[in-house]
C-alpha cells in the first residue's frame, strides 16, 4: 500500500494503477476510520480493479465555530486499518497541497444542498463540493463510494458530478450501524458513556415513526411525536423530516427518505432511513 502526500507522485501512482484500462475506485474520508469506512473500501474493491482512499480533514467544510481542531485524528491507526483492508493507495495531502496559495475557485451548489445541513452549517456543502471535485480530478478515479449516512451530502455530490459532466460513477453504500442501531460515525467516540447509551434512541424513534406513516396520510403529527420524545429524553432535535430522496423536497408520496439531526451534548448525530 502506497502512502502519498505529493501531487506529482499521486499522478504517477494513479497512472500505474489505471494502466491498461484498469478502473480505479476512490473512497474520500476525513480519517478516524471505523467499520463503515472499511465497508466502503470493500464496495470500491468490488467496483474497480484498484482502490485509493483519501484522508483529508477539509477546513472548508467547517465554520469558524465548529469543531475542526477537535475532529478526531488517528493517522497510524487509519493506515493500519487500510493496509489490512487491501487498499492500494492512500492520498494524504496537507492543507497547503490541497489549497495552494492563490487558490480562488469554489464550487457552489443549489438544489439538494439547500435546507437541513445546508441551513445548519452555511458553507458546508460548498466545502464538500470543492474538495470532492478536486479529489476526483487529482486521482482520475472511475468510481467513488460514499456512505448513505450523510444522505444530503451524497445527493450534493451526485448533483455536482451530473452538472459538471464528470466522468466518474458515484456509488452510495447503505448506512453501517453499530450492534445497537446507532449509525457508525467518527464523532461517536466523543460522546460520554451516558450519551452513548442514549444515542440509539434516535434511530429507534425514526424506525417507529416510519412504521406509523401510512401512504397518502398526513405524517407531520407522527414526526412531531418523535421529536417530542427525543427532546424529553435529553436530545436537542434539529430536524426530523420526510423528503423526496433525490431532491430533498418535502415528501408528497412514493419513495421517501426520513432525515434526522439531533445533538447530544456537543455531538451532532445525523441519520436517515428509507420510507418502506
The pLDDT value recorded for residue 216 is 67
What gap in Å lies between CA 58 and CA 122, rounded to an integer? 15
Q: Is the pTM of this model over 0.85?
A: yes
Do residues 31 and 73 lie in contact, with contact meaning Cβ atoms separated by under 8 Å? yes
The pLDDT tens digits of the residues spanning 1-47 come to 999 999 999 999 999 999 999 999 999 999 999 999 999 999 999 99
Please give the pLDDT value at position 214.
Answer: 77
Summarize the confidence of residues 185-205 as an average pLDDT: 95
Q: How far apart are CA 204 and CA 199, in angstroms?
A: 9
219 is catalytic: no
- For residue 166, report the phi and psi dihedrals to the nearest 5 degrees: -80, 135
Predicted local confidence at residue 78, as pLDDT: 97
Q: If you average pLDDT over every residue of the chain, what do you get? A: 95
Q: What phi and psi, each to the nearest 5 degrees, are found at residue 258?
A: -95, 115
Catalytic, out of 34, 37, 124, 219: 37
Q: Which whole number is the average pLDDT over 48-52?
A: 98
- Dihedral angle over CA of 200, 116, 132, 29, nearest 10: -20
Q: What are phi and psi of 122, to 5 degrees?
A: -55, 130
Mean pLDDT confidence for 253-258: 93
Q: In the predicted model, what is the mean pLDDT of residues 241-250?
A: 97
Whether residue 114 has pLDDT greater than 90: yes
Q: 124-139 vs 7-17: helix axis angle to the nearest 10?
A: 60
Paired with 32 in beta bridges are: none
Residue 275 has pLDDT above 90, yes or no: yes
pLDDT in the model for residue 191:
96
Q: pLDDT for 140-190, tens place per residue? A: 999 999 999 999 999 999 999 999 999 999 999 999 999 999 999 988 989
Amino acid at each position: 500500500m502506497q502512502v502519498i502526500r505529493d501531487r506529482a507522485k499521486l499522478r504517477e501512482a494513479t497512472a500505474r494503477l489505471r494502466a491498461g484500462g484498469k478502473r480505479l475506485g476512490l473512497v474520500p474520508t476525513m480519517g478516524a476510520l471505523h467499520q463503515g469506512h472499511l465497508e466502503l473500501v470493500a464496495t470500491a474493491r468490488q467496483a474497480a480493479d484498484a482502490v485509493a482512499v483519501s484522508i483529508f480533514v477539509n477546513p472548508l467544510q467547517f465554520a469558524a465555530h465548529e469543531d475542526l481542531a477537535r475532529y478526531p485524528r488517528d493517522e497510524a491507526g487509519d493506515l493500519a486499518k487500510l493496509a489490512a483492508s487491501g487498499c492500494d493507495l492512500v492520498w494524504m495531502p496537507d492543507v497547503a497541497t490541497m489549497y495552494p496559495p492563490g487558490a480562488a475557485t469554489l464550487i457552489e451548489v443549489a438544489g439538494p444542498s439547500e435546507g437541513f445541513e445546508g441551513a445548519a452549517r452555511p458553507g458546508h456543502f460548498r466545502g464538500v463540493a470543492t474538495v470532492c471535485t478536486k479529489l476526483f480530478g487529482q486521482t482520475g478515479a472511475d468510481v467513488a463510494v460514499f456512505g448513505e449516512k450523510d444522505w444530503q451530502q451524497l445527493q450534493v455530490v451526485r448533483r455536482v458530478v451530473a452538472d459538471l459532466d464528470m466522468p466518474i460513477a458515484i456509488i452510495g453504500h447503505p448506512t453501517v450501524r453499530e450492534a445497537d442501531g446507532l449509525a457508525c460515525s467518527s464523532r461517536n467516540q466523543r460522546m460520554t458513556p451516558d450519551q452513548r447509551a442514549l444515542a440509539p434512541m434516535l434511530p429507534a424513534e425514526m424506525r417507529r415513526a416510519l412504521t406509523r406513516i401510512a401512504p397518502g396520510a398526513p405524517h407531520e403529527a407522527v414526526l412531531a411525536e418523535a421529536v417530542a420524545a427525543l427532546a424529553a429524553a435529553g436530545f436537542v432535535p434539529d430536524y426530523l423530516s420526510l423528503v423526496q430522496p433525490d431532491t430533498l423536497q418535502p415528501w408528497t408520496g412514493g419513495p421517501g427518505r426520513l432525515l434526522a439531526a439531533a445533538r447530544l451534548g456537543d455531538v451532532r448525530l445525523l441519520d436517515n432511513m428509507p420510507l418502506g
